[in-house]
Amino acid sequence: MKIEQIETFLMITETKNLSLASKNLFISQSAVSHRLRSLEEYLDCELFIRGRGEKLVTLTQKGEEFIEIAIRWKALWNETKQWALQESKMSLNVASIDSLNTCVFSNLYKELIDSSSQDEDNHSIILNVSSHWSRTIYDLIESHDIDIGFTLNSLKYPNAIAKPLFKSRGVVISSTSSKYTESVHPHDLDTADEILFSSIPEYHMWHNFWWENNQNEYSSVDTVSLLFTVFDLEKKWAIVPVWIARVFEKFYPIKISELSVSAPEYACYQVTNRHPKPSKLKAIEKFITALEDYMKKEVFINSVQ
């Protein structure tokens, strides 16, 4: 069936007159008759009863039944035509370790999601964000299940490219009533009160160097939310990237102390596939542009320094 046949059928049902239908459609009466015959041949049934040379027509039982189908068919055609003319929404799957999602990139995600809800021209990104361990992020990049990842580890994978984004120092966080001063040496820290929080091998090596004989004394957590939960314990301390400390102090009364002996820096990497999906190239480009703009903003700079 063709849309012209359906439109002609519906016009005839409305006017009950071939001559008036041709006038309303701006075509000849012979063209109306041709379209009607073609539609009836396609459907293999008679839709109208008409005599030779008669302009007036009457619907058959099949014609009456076909009206609703024709209306739905025309509506679906119009919807399909509109869909074909529209630019598809861009979707992007982003994954990061929990602490980066929570403390560094949450405002970026918020900006992109907000712009998506306000953009009526389909130029925005539909953003899907998840949290995973670093190795899982690399696995998902390899399998094209995510498009962009953020981790604190540069791992070797055949098709994963890790680009350094920024580095941040580690600081000591503790209760405001703790004994620790603005600058502390590792030997000043009591490992019996430590909450170990780290996801980079270099830090564990540094930690083992300073507290080699106290490896069984400390507790540990692996997410920011857990760290926040246990930190109402008065004597506890932890060494964390400064961007966790900056978020922490907004919600909790904590003390931030610098280390007199620097711990390894926390390097953040942007991970992408060497061969991204062609359908995701525009969304990736738009996201990276937004990321670059975000990293120039004060809210970002203040969080990682």
Q: Which CATH superfamily is domain 90-166+267-304 in?
A: Periplasmic binding protein-like II (3.40.190.10)
Helix (H) or strand (E) holding 244: helix 242-251
H helices of 171-237, in order, are: 201-210, 224-230
User: Could you check whether 3-85 and 170-264 share the same CATH topology?
Assistant: no
Topology, domain 170-264: D-Maltodextrin-Binding Protein; domain 2 (3.40.190)
Mean pLDDT by 10 residues, the chain (305 residues): 91 90 91 91 90 76 92 90 73 94 94 73 79 95 96 95 96 89 92 85 88 72 86 83 92 91 93 94 93 93 85
Rounded CA-CA distance 228/113 in Å is 26
pLDDT of residue 86: 62
C-beta of residue 161 within 8 angstroms of C-beta of residue 272: yes
Identify the CATH class of 3-85: mainly alpha
Mark residue 189 as left, alpha or beta (left: phi above 0; alpha: psi -120 to 50; beta: remaining): beta
Nearest CA to 291 out of 266, 269, 265 is that of 269
pLDDT of residue 245: 93
Q: Domain spans of the chain?
A: 3-85, 90-166+267-304, 170-264
Rounded CA-CA distance 110/269 in Å is 20
Question: What secondary structure, in 3-state letters, does 78-120 show?
Answer: HHHHHHHHCCCCEEEEEEECHHHHHHCCHHHHHHHHHHHHHCC
pLDDT of residue 56: 81
Distance (Å) of CA 171 to CA 1, 32, 90, 205, 262? 71, 82, 39, 17, 9
Helix (H) or strand (E) holding 256: strand 254-259
Nearest CA to 146 out of 268, 283, 266 is that of 283
pTM higher than 0.85 for the full model? no
Work out whether strand 148-151 and strand 266-273 pair parallel, antiparallel, or are unpaired. Answer: antiparallel
Nearest CA to 211 out of 78, 71, 220 is that of 220
Please state, as a whole number, how many other Cβ atoms lie within 10 Å of the Cβ of residue 34.
14
C-beta of residue 248 within 8 angstroms of C-beta of residue 242: no
Helix (H) or strand (E) holding 131: strand 125-131
